[in-house]
């Protein structure tokens, strides 16, 4: 069975969580208020369709650290958590946008996730939400196709993931149509195998990826330079310097082999880093195998 891992991203309020809920059949909370409700990345349980096993990760809005629900000290923990979820790589990126003009946040999200985080190595499609006001729903995409030509999208997919209220009878068939269209696009455009961002088979370690991605995050969100990860600064030290409580910092790294090795190398025990890394990898492999058996 083909395994497809999908990273979903986009500005706050574009409908990322509603999209993920519809694709997976889950019911995580959504909110159409001024501040987003997704305060951390979320890995949905895998589901199967057309001989494919699909895993979807919903991400926190990139700009939430500066004017939303996620302060900077929590953002670094969330990024570490996201990178841990990315351990097995991704097959496809899905950027979510509303059917409106292209915003500065749209550009910055694309640059961060497509160009910087995944370095252009993973294909990306654009899911355009709010197309229920168009007839047919493809009309908005047809009119605006040229405006997105500067991006490397494999496909622009018009969708409706609205629900509830007096229009629910109208929304329901459009959601079903949107789900089928988007799943078809995901299966068609995804890599045959997920591509890793770091680790074995790549030229980057977890820590190198964390430094590169975190410092780009600081730049994109306009945080002060003091938040940048310094040369030779450990991820644990960075979290502590940003004010992350020790208990949370300990939890953030305890299952990450690369960070455990980093801490172990600073211990007086010879080979402590490699030993900690090996033990944690064995633990993760057992946990992963156990999870797959229960799927």
Query: Domain boundaries in the chain?
Result: 2-189
d(CA 155, CA 3): 21
Determine the angle formed by the axes of helices 168-189 and 16-24, rounding to 10 degrees. Answer: 80
Share of the chain above pLDDT 70, in %: 78
pLDDT greater at residue 20 or residue 31: 20
CB 26 within 8 A of CB 110: no
Q: What tokens does 194 get?
A: 């997920």
Mean pLDDT of the chain: 82
pLDDT band, residue 174 (cuts 50/70/90)? very high
Report residue 4: phi and psi, to 5°: -120, 125
Highest mean pLDDT (candidates 76-85, 148-157, 200-209, 212-221): 148-157
Mean pLDDT of 176-190: 97
The region of weakest confidence among 84-98, 107-121, 183-197, 256-270 is 256-270
Residues near 54 by beta carbon (within 8 Å), at least 6 away in sequence: 4, 5, 6, 23, 46, 47, 48, 183, 186
With cut-offs at 50, 70 and 90, classify the pLDDT of residue 195.
very high
The CATH architecture to which 2-189 belongs is: 3-Layer(aba) Sandwich (3.40)
Say how far apart CA 253 and CA 48 lie, in whole Å: 31
Nearest to 156 by CA among 189, 134, 133, 132: 189
* Higher-scoring residue by pLDDT: 79, 73: 79
Residue 258 has pLDDT above 80, yes or no: no
pLDDT of residue 76: 85
User: What is the pLDDT averaged over residues 195-208?
Assistant: 88
């Amino acid at each position: 069975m083909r395994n497809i891992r999908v990273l979903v991203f986009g500005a706050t309020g574009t409908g990322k969580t509603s999209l993920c809920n519809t694709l997976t059949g889950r019911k995580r909370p959504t909110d159409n208020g001024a501040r987003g409700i997704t305060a951390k990345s979320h890995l949905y349980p895998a589901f199967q369709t057309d001989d494919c096993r699909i895993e979807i990760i919903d991400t926190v809005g990139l700009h939430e650290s500066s004017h939303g629900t996620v302060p900077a000290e929590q953002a670094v923990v969330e990024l570490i958590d996201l990178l841990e979820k990315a351990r097995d790589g991704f097959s496809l990126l899905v950027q979510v946008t509303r059917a409106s003009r292209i915003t500065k946040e749209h550009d910055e999200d694309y640059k961060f996730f497509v160009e910087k985080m995944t370095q252009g190595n993973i294909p990306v499609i654009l899911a355009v939400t709010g197309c229920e006001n168009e007839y047919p729903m493809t009309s908005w995409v047809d009119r605006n196709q040229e405006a997105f030509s500067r991006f490397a999208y494999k496909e622009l997919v018009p969708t409706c993931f609205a629900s509830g209220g007096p229009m629910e009878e109208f929304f329901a068939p459009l959601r079903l149509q949107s789900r089928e269209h988007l799943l078809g696009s995901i299966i068609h455009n995804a890599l045959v195998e997920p591509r890793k961002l770091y680790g074995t088979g790549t030229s980057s370690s977890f820590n190198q990826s964390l430094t590169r991605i975190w410092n780009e995050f600081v730049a994109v969100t306009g945080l002060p330079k003091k938040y940048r990860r310094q040369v030779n600064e450990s991820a644990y030290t960075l979290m502590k310097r940003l004010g992350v409580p020790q208990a949370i910092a300990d939890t953030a790294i305890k299952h990450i082999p690369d960070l455990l090795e980093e801490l172990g190398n600073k211990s007086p025990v010879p080979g402590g880093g490699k030993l900690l890394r090996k033990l944690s990898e064995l633990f993760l492999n057992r946990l992963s195998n156990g999870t797959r058996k229960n799927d």
